[in-house]
């Protein structure tokens, strides 16, 4: 049986570590092609979608929020002011470092824990396992995939292995 810790913390760290590599490739692409990297930072797949930078912010918010909430803690707040690749990479790394502070005993046993998640003018309520499996992981994957797609659409040489990473 897989534990809540195993399903959350290592999975989130793995995904965010791959995101760091993807961000590094995006930064290198802009440098090698000699264009302003903010073009990529502000890019969107479609006009009504959020920009690249916001995709990174939401992915990290979901990851740090998940760990904190499952452990019964208040998630750390980030300012959402990142406007460069180094700042976005630092945000993702800060989130990875935060996730690494959690021990299995803080997360395991949270399957039925009530999680209240304030969203805009509403509060969503979950039990721990559905929160992790049906809300957090799909959201993290969605926003990391969207960030990957924005960079790929803009010519950054990325492949499936960049997203999946070393297994």
118 has pLDDT over 90: no
Q: What are the tens digits of pLDDT across the range 26-82?
A: 999 999 999 999 999 999 999 999 999 999 999 999 999 999 999 999 999 999 999
120 has pLDDT over 90: no
Is 145 exposed, middle or buried (CB count within 10 Å of its CB: 0-12, 13-18, 19+)?
Answer: middle
What is 4-164's CATH topology? 1.20.120
pTM of the model: 0.96
116 has pLDDT over 90: yes
Confidence of residue 154 (pLDDT cuts 50, 70, 90): very high
Cβ-proximal residues to 37 (8 Å cutoff; 6+ apart), any chain = 26, 27, 30, 31, 84, 85
Residue 109 has phi, psi (to 5 degrees) of 90, 5
Is 120 exposed, middle or buried (CB count within 10 Å of its CB: 0-12, 13-18, 19+)?
Answer: exposed
Residue 120 has phi, psi (to 5 degrees) of 50, -115
pLDDT at residue 65, as a whole number: 98
Q: Which residue pairs, CB below 8 angstroms and at least 24 apart, start in 26-31?
A: 26/85, 26/151, 26/156, 27/85, 27/86, 27/89, 29/151, 29/154, 29/155, 29/156, 29/157, 30/85
Mean pLDDT of 16-24: 98
Mean pLDDT of 80-97: 98
- Helix axis angle for 52-70 and 85-99, nearest 10°, is 10
Mean pLDDT of 127-148: 98
Mean pLDDT of 107-132: 95
pLDDT at residue 1, as a whole number: 87
Q: Which helix (H) or strand (E) holds 18?
A: helix 4-33
**Look-up of token digits 């000699």:** 34
pLDDT at residue 167, as a whole number: 81
Residue 44 has phi, psi (to 5 degrees) of -135, 155
pLDDT at residue 72, as a whole number: 97
16 has pLDDT over 90: yes
């Amino acid at each position: 049986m897989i534990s809540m810790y195993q399903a959350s913390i290592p999975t989130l760290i793995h995904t965010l570590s791959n995101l760091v590599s993807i961000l590094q490739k995006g930064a290198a692409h802009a440098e090698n092609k000699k264009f302003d990297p903010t073009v990529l930072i502000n890019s969107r797949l479609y006009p009504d979608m959020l920009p690249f930078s916001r995709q990174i912010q939401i992915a990290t918010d979901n990851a740090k929020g998940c760990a904190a909430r499952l452990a019964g803690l208040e998630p750390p707040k980030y300012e959402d002011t990142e406007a460069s690749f180094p700042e976005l990479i630092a945000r993702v790394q800060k989130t990875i470092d935060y996730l690494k502070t959690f021990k299995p005993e803080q997360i395991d046993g949270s399957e039925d824990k009530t999680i209240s998640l304030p969203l805009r003018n509403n509060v969503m309520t979950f039990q721990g396992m559905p929160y992790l499996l049906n809300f957090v992981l799909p959201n993290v994957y969605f926003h990391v995939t969207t960030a990957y797609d924005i960079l790929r659409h803009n010519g950054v040489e990325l492949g499936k292995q960049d997203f999946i990473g070393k297994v």
